[in-house]
Amino acid sequence: MEIGGEFCFADMGRAPEGEASVADLLDGWSRLYPTALLSSGRSAYLNTWLNLLNTARGLDTVLLPSYLCYSILMPFRRMGVRIEHYRVDADLAVDWEDLERKAGGLGARAAVVIVNYFGFPESVDVVCAICRIKQTGARVVYDATHSLLNDCPWPAVADTFCVGRASGSVPAADVCIMSLRKALPVVDGAAVVWLDGAQPAPALSVARERVDSYFSSRALAMMMKASYVADGWGNSRDYLNLYEQAEAALDREFGANSGMSGVSRSIVRRLAVDRIRRSRRENYAELVKVLSEHGPSCAGLQLLFPELPDGVVPLGCPVVTDERDALQKYLAARGILTQVLWQSPPEVARGEFPESWGLSERILVLPCDQRYSSEHMAAVAGAVREWLCDVPPVGDSRV
């Protein structure tokens, strides 16, 4: 049995008649706001930046969080954009004072990117800071890849100037970007939602899908993994290599208007969104319950988000430990695949942002997605508890 890892075609299922699908979710946003479906998060960022350049005079800088995935940097590297960072603390809380100070210094020259972490909402202080930042003329881009399935993927402000999802609430950001493949079994796909009502430039309208080496490698990997997990055919190393090849190809090939494939558009129509939401919340709650009962913080393991707020659909269950690599290896030997989200890119100055670097060396994400049942979660939690009973010293190769 394998728990975790990349999605494959065996994970699709089919939305029962009458139940809302992920496609209905995307269609609902497009009825409210101009929405573009692109091939990847990298394409979405590139498309968004070029559209902002088309409307914002003097825009020359992007302000990014100190804790982020390297893929967010790639479109800005390609365009030669000036990149600055604001502080994210070791508990994934945005330092809103540092954010507001740096954004205020840049004003209309900046696009400010706020990244959601694992589906959990930002503090009221952060959302209020976003509103004040917009008053300086800066444009705010919200990355909702992790909060894609939340009741409301992006932060909103009500008349009381605080977070709210009540009718009439206004999105805090100007534009929202979300990659679909982190949470769903699609080959490709990302959405750009223009929350401020801006119309994308005609020259940047979404083109037809392009069957490139990224799409081909990832589609084949998903088929091979489906055969392996469903029927035991093949070798896991083969499809893992293909997933890696696909990622490398995407780094080379993403374009500003590459459209989401017809294959992925078909898949999202088969995914029952409410069932996915319910499964993720139940699985997360089960993991937190078992790990909290063990008192993990006393044994060298800490849950980053011990509470699950209403409306939140977690991407995964992030924990931190000084023995991260040993725990990851221990779980992998028992068929439980975890993720490191993320290794800090070298562009983020270690001396200026030690909290983010320290987190990147200690974080591990346990799987809790819709593929799994409470029995699977019991297996994950049980393996973690076994490890906690005898945490190996640093450098121990125990598996």
d(CA 387, CA 327): 7
d(CA 124, CA 121): 9
Contact 112, 132 (CB under 8 A): no
Tokens matching residue 57? 């005079």
pLDDT of amino acid 392: 52
pLDDT of amino acid 398: 45
pLDDT of amino acid 163: 42
Tokens matching residue 172? 């805090």
pLDDT of amino acid 299: 60
Residue 359 — left, alpha, or beta (φ > 0 → left; ψ -120 to 50 → alpha)?
Answer: alpha
d(CA 326, CA 394): 8
d(CA 249, CA 169): 40
d(CA 40, CA 221): 17
d(CA 218, CA 115): 25
Print pLDDT tens along the chain (399 aa).
678 888 887 787 777 778 899 999 999 999 999 999 999 999 999 999 999 999 877 899 999 999 999 999 999 999 999 999 999 999 999 999 999 999 999 999 999 999 999 999 999 999 999 999 999 999 999 999 999 999 999 999 874 444 443 445 799 999 999 999 999 999 999 999 999 888 888 888 888 777 789 999 999 999 999 999 888 899 999 999 999 999 999 999 899 999 999 999 999 999 999 999 999 999 999 999 999 876 545 468 999 999 999 999 999 999 999 999 999 999 999 999 999 999 999 999 999 999 999 999 999 999 999 999 999 999 999 999 999 886 554 455 444
The pair phi, psi for residue 289, each rounded to 5°, is: -60, -50
pLDDT of amino acid 298: 46
What domains are there in the chain, each with its CATH number? 15-204 (3.40.640.10), 273-386 (3.90.1150.10)
d(CA 264, CA 261): 5
